[in-house]
Structure 1
């Protein structure tokens, strides 16, 4: 490492001098993109200081996104920070039907907020892919899937083959594309189990059934497991598989007219709208009559009323992690395997 610690300025902490030394070396090109930094113990000996001081300097550089640290691999100069100011910023493609960059309320909004905020910190550009356009894979640093993609497109093929880093959020795309997900079956099971622990026995189900992708199917599977494990009856009139081909409000109204339940597990927020509408029309109170538990981030959608319980997914955190992975992949390239991580949900039960 061709860098030296200049004469000590006693008014500046040693760790800050070390930090500035590394920043200067990166800007002048002495440390280049992807270069591995000497281990902390050796740096401490080299600059005649403590390992704690070196570790603090490294923590500052990591916070500034100038370096990337990997367990058992080492510390590297972030590929997105270069002495060459003319170098174009890496572009992350997001496969999302919405087609606009937005943050705020909603399932996708929370993920996009995480993606965009992390991309800004790492000096990357976020753009949305056109589902019908054949984007050139060579223009992109990576792709994040928020929906089921058109696998015939060249950019999707590049991700599947591992030519382009790819991550699906709550989507198993296949091939070399990684996946960050919530275990829907387990979290649904734990959520319904919490209702049972609170004394509810006649618990209904309203939402996705055995159709659609794997993540939708498993919500009912979690409900089924919790009920059968507790020895509670699965009454047909208390279970409704939502249909998009029939009036959603009429479906909900008919369900409540026939069901005999003390609590209800709703599989996702868009379905909850019709459930709450029908309950209001029929004068059914979620506080006094039927306890409602919904598997979705109601807080992000401003649906988290004082009487509704919900299962919250770390969507923004997952968006950040997906972006971090692509940034790390640019630095480590083939040394970094596809990311596959499962995230726990948070149970929000108003008392």
Structure 2
């Protein structure tokens, strides 16, 4: 019978096997993303996903500027328990935001993950709105998971992060990150997410694929959407499809809205050569794109395939059910707390800068179809 296991899974299982039989031990380095791609005769996006999967399972640690190393501490929680940092309270520090924003599954699942690990370890967990609490108390019993936002006077600015670091605040960044600050962080691998969404459409025969991103302009896009756009470009490049700037629409807003997707899709569908598929980069924009397509008399997915991003509850019940990318932010929340509880030395923070990437997953539903289905 033909082996149907995805290649990235084969790489993961191979490395796990080498750990199990003793070929790879705690602290051993493993091949780089480029080297793994060569060894397994595959693309870098596949080797990147394999490394992200291993990191997500706590089997490897990726150290900026040094490489990827075997780490078995997460697989041995009882052994590590006595070594954990003793925190009494963990704060989720965030910029001022409307209360309903935390109902979005990205944030609600993220908070669920944080709360679960805090509860397991007897740690108090609280939200901390930086706009209400300008001064954050720094002491050895408090840790912070920080959600940096757009630079603003009362927001989580780079200047404020630097000040907290200098004051000795034990913190981990989440969702957004600033490598130059050398602060540990946990993110969803948005580049891989953008790649998976676009590669799925390409596999269905689509070549004119529109993309709707959130930002002020093509040169001013926030981090998560820029990475999804990079994943989109990478998928096109690997399949020999030229990047066409006219297929990119940038919509500005403080939060994701259906209207953004509607307006963006209308712009794309008005082109002389409109796209046969749209990657909307969020589910809410995808719902708007669906409405735009239907108003133009297009059947989804027969005439227009659409992919979202986030896996909000409505995506399962839209008409048609939306193909989307699930981010697993509950895992991101859990890993953020686990990273806070891991013992650090000053040297490790400065020289062994840890980056955790949570691997997203493509969920194929009913809003995408082969391009040759079109009437």
Task: Tell me the TM-score normalized by structure 2.
Answer: 0.62
Question: Does the 8 Å contact 1:210/1:217 carry over to 2?
Answer: no
Alignment partner, residue 111 of structure 1: 110
Unaligned segments of structure 2, at least 5 residues? 1-71, 150-155, 367-375
Q: For the residues of structure 1 that align with 2:297 and 2:276, how far apart are their CA atoms?
A: 15
Aligned equivalent of 2:142: 141
Contact in 2 for aligned 1:101/1:128 (Cα 8 Å) = no
Check 1:283–1:119 CA distance in 2 against 1; reply closer, same or farther (3 A cut).
Answer: farther
Q: Which residue of 2 aligns with 1:232?
A: 241
Match of 2:128?
129
Corresponding residue of 1:200: 206
Cα contact 1:141–1:326 (8 A) shared by 2: no
Provide the TM-score with structure 1 as the length reference. Answer: 0.65
Partner of 1:63: none
Q: How far apart in 1 are the matches of 2:234 and 2:130?
A: 37
The Cα of 1:212 is off from its aligned counterpart by 3.2
Q: For the residues of structure 2 that align with 1:188 and 1:102, how far apart are their CA atoms?
A: 23
Question: Post-superposition shift, 1:143?
Answer: 1.0
Pair 1:124–1:333, CA change in 2 (3 A): farther
Q: Which moved more, 1:316-325 or 1:219-228?
A: 219-228
Is 1:182–2:195 an aligned residue pair?
A: no
- Distance, in Å, in 2 between the alignment partners of 1:70 and 1:280 is 49
Classify 1:334/1:254 alpha carbon distance in 2 versus 1 (closer, same or farther; 3 Å): closer
Higher relative contact order (CA 8 A, sep 6+): 2
Counterpart position of 1:94: 92
Match of 1:254 in 2: 267
Task: Give the Å deviation of 1:268.
Answer: 2.1
Indicate the structure (1 or 2) with the bigger Cα radius of gyration: 1
What's the counterpart of residue 277 of structure 1? 291
Q: How far 1:123 moved relative to its partner?
A: 1.1
1:264 CA displacement: 1.0
Q: Structure 2 CA distance, aligned partners of 1:335 and 1:100? A: 39
Range moving further from structure 2, 268-277 or 315-324: 268-277
Partner of 2:80: 75
Q: Offset at 1:79?
A: 5.6
More deviation in 312-321 or 124-133? Answer: 124-133
How big is the alpha-carbon RMSD for the aligned residues of Structure 1 and Structure 2? Answer: 3.5
Partner residue in 2 for 1:220: 229
